Chains A and B, each alone.
Chain A
Amino acid sequence: MPEVRLMKGNEALAEAAIRAGCDAYFGYPITPQSEVLEYLSREVPKKSNMVVLQAESEIASINMIYGAAGAGKRAMTTSSSPGISLMQEGLSYIASAELPCLVVNVNRGGPGLGTIQPAQGDYFQATKGGGHGDYKLIVLAPSSVQEMADHVRLGFEFADKYRNPVMILSDGAIGQMMEKVELFDQLPRDMVKKPWATTGKAKNRERNIITSLHIDPYDMEKINLRLQEKYKQIMENEVRYQSFQIDDVEYLLVAYGLSARICQKVVEIGREKGIKLGLIRPITLFPFPWNIIRSVSERVKGILDVELNSGQMVEDVRLAVEGRAQVKFYGRMGGVIPSPEEIFENFEKEFLKGEAL
């Protein structure tokens, strides 16, 4: 029997970090994700010699991750929107140096210092490269406490497989709510061989160098070409999504994370009224599930994208659809969460105006 517990999303994520064999956590407290550092500080001394450190700032955290990952260690940090903004320079360096690590953003309402309530305003920052230069993070979007745990393990696997930073883009609600979670068994530390790590030069090999500085533009272009080739592989191999009732769908909803949970209820409301609603929930935001959205868009009357922002992922949906169907958007901002009924009413307004029900 797997171990089942009732946990907050943030706690499940922290426990999963221990179980995934994470070697080092560096972080700085910020609502709504402070439970991660609290949980690790409380639980790690009981069962592990993993490094858990409260850094002096988010900028320090991400650069400690750079160091730990460069030394071949499984390293992670967590923060929320304003803290993640501070980490963008470090993320660009880590992406350029091709170091595996896990960064978790428990998204809150912005811009600025904003609010501590749940939001999804950091989609662009997460998926389009929040720092400088042509780089991509692999971005996972959990929509349950279970996925808060599972995505930690998956995130580390992706990070090691592609030597690329991975981001879990969650939000305040998924972080704060409690649900049942089935925890995976403890994994050993140091599972992955990292011959490129800077751990001191052995006599039988060349020096390992980790840097993001390549003065010669032709060298820098080579790095860029390699990165782009890697992102292409990721787009071909790692797309993940979940679909609800899309076999006979007439109107498609697209939403991720908390919005997708709310939209599942919108589908239920619609189906009760005889309207064939369906939902596609991207699990990977990069790579985005372009193909499934494209193919479903050929047979629907309309698409409603729902986010807790002013309309960010909807741009990717429109790129996937390429005009095959009408794509509308509904969202709330600043930490306000729409109810399923509110979303359904807006769906009706957009698509069923004048049509007999």
Chain B
Amino acid sequence: MKQEAIFSGFGGQGVLSMGMVLCYAGMKEGKEVCWMPSYGPEMRGGTANCIIIVSDTLISSPIISRFDTVIALNQPSVDKFESAVKPGGNLIYDSTNIINPPTRTDINIFPIPGSAEAVKLNNMKVLNMIMLGAFLQITNTVLVESALLGLKEVLPERYHKLIPLNKQALEVGIKSVSVVTT
């Protein structure tokens, strides 16, 4: 098993933490993991992304340009990374605020109403966990239980009271995967 993915969105949407949760989860399952963030001007506002590789075998390049799965949390990310999905790969995107949806026909496209669902949970900050839930449902990269263990590592202890809400968000994400366009 090898999953080469990129999580991309606006700075502040939690794409870097979402990637970290996945990496910790992979590590808990004894897999090889690599998390490569964009750390440049992006961190100071604008777009942010991180490359995540989870693999049963040793990971070669942390820098890749073709992905098994792209998770896009905003329009610029859909525009930028749609072409980077490997044929047969997955493009998972937050469909709430997208004006121009992806158009490729050789990949699996999953519109997830992430922001709308986050509003229902009264906390926009769990958007990343909703999208991670969808990602796990689609790719089976790690178990949901492992992701929850990962969340404990990434969330500072003073925010551990938010773990139940994040768990709920993961479950919402898992359930929101229904429409598969191929």
Interface positions of A (Cβ within 8 A of B)? 4, 6, 31-32, 115-117, 172-173, 176-180, 258, 261-265, 267-268, 337, 339-342
Verify B27–A268 contact, CB threshold 8 A. no
Given the complex of chains A and B, what is the CA–CA distance between A176 and B19 in angstroms? 14
Residue B60 lies at the interface, judged by CB distance under 8 Å to chain A: yes
Q: By the criterion CB–CB under 8 Å, are B64 and A265 in contact?
A: yes
Contact present for A179 and B65 (CB under 8 Å):
no
Specify the chain B residue showing the minimal Cβ separation from A177: B36
Taking a contact as CB atoms under 8 Å apart, the answer to whether A258 and B63 are in contact is yes
User: A267 contacts which chain B residues (CB < 8 A)?
Assistant: 60
A176 & B63 in contact (Cβ 8 Å cutoff): no
A-B residue pairs, 10 tightest by C-beta: A264-B60, A339-B65, A265-B61, A178-B35, A265-B60, A262-B61, A177-B36, A176-B39, A261-B61, A337-B63
Q: Which residues of A contact B66 (CB under 8 A)?
A: 339, 341
Cα-based distance from A337 to B39 in the complex (angstroms): 14
What distance in Å separates the Cβ of B41 from its nearest Cβ neighbour in chain A?
8
B89 within 8 Å of A by Cβ?
A: no
**A179, B34: Cβ atoms closer than 8 Å:** yes
Could you name 8 residue pairs across A and B whose Cβ atoms are closer than 8 Å? A177-B37, A179-B33, A179-B34, A263-B61, A339-B65, A339-B66, A340-B63, A342-B65
Whether B64 and A339, one on each chain, are in contact in the complex, defined by CB atoms closer than 8 angstroms, is: yes
Q: How far is the CA of A339 from the CA of B36 in the complex (A)?
A: 14
Flag if A176 contacts B36 (CB, 8 Å).
yes
User: B33–A6 contact, CB under 8 A?
Assistant: yes
- Residue with the highest number of chain A CB atoms closer than 10 Å, among B23, B35, B40, B60: B60
B12 within 8 A of A: no
Chain B residues near A262 (CB, 8 Å)? 60-61, 63
Per-residue A-contact encoding for B78-104, CB less than 8 Å = 1, 0 else = 000000000000000000000000000
Complex Cα distance, B62 from A128, in Å, reads: 29
- For residue B34, which residues in chain A have a CB less than 8 angstroms away from its CB? 177-179
From A4, A6, A172, A341, contact of B23 by CB (8 A): A6
Contact B62 A341 (CB under 8 A): no
A116/B64 in contact, CB under 8 A: no
Contact A178 B32 (CB under 8 A): no
Closest to A179 in B: B34
The contact string, 1 if C-beta is below 8 Å from chain A, for chain B 4-32, is 00000000000000001001100100001
CA distance A180 to B23 in the complex (A): 9
Q: Which residues of B contact A337 (CB under 8 A)?
A: 63
- Number of B residues near A (Cβ < 8 Å) is 21
Q: Which residues of A contact B153 (CB under 8 A)?
A: 6
Question: When the two chains form their complex, are residues A4 and B39 in contact, meaning their CB atoms are under 8 A apart?
Answer: no
Interface centre among B27, B40, B153 (most CB of A within 10 A): B40
Contacts of A180 in B (CB 8 A): 27, 32-33
Given the known interface contacts A6-B33, A179-B33, the answer about A341 and B65 at a Cβ–Cβ threshold of 8 Å is: yes
Contact assessment for A6 and B27 in the assembled complex, using a CB-CB cutoff below 8 Å: yes
Q: A177-B34, A341-B65 are in contact. Are A32 and B27 (CB under 8 A)?
A: no
Q: Are A116 and B63 in contact (CB under 8 A)?
A: no
Question: What are the residues of chain A within 8 A of B24 when measuring CB–CB?
Answer: 6
Q: How far is the CA of A180 from the CA of B29 in the complex (A)?
A: 12
| Bound form: Cα–Cα A250–B66 in Å | 27
Q: How far is the CB of B3 from chain A (nearest CB, A)?
A: 15
CB distance B27 to A4 under 8 Å?
Answer: yes
Residues of B within 8 A of A31 (CB): 39
CA gap between A337 and B61 in the complex, in Å:
11
Q: Tell me which residues across on chain A come within 8 A of B37, comparing CB atoms.
A: 176-177
Among A31, A115, A180, A342, which residue has the most Cβ atoms of chain B within 10 A? A180
Residue pair A116, B40 in contact (C-beta under 8 Å): yes
- Across the interface, which residues of B come within 8 angstroms of A339, CB to CB? 63-66
CB distance from B78 to the nearest CB of A (A): 20
Q: Taking each of A4, A32, A179, A337, which has the highest tally of chain B beta carbons within 10 Å of its own beta carbon?
A: A179
Asked if B40 and A177 make an inter-chain contact with CB atoms under 8 angstroms apart, the answer reads no
Decide: A116 near B39, CB < 8 A? Known: A177-B62, A262-B63, A339-B65.
yes
Contact among A4, A177, A268 with B60 in the assembled complex (CB-CB below 8 Å): A268
Please give 6 more A-B residue pairs, beta carbons under 8 A apart, in addition to A6-B35, A341-B65.
A32-B39, A261-B60, A265-B60, A265-B64, A267-B60, A340-B64
Q: Which residue of A lies closest to B35 (CB)?
A: A178
**Closest residue on chain A to residue B53 by CB atoms:** A179
- Contacts of B20 on A, CB cut-off 8 Å? 6, 178
| Alpha-carbon gap, A25 to B153, bound state (A) | 28
A177 to B20, CA, bound (A): 11
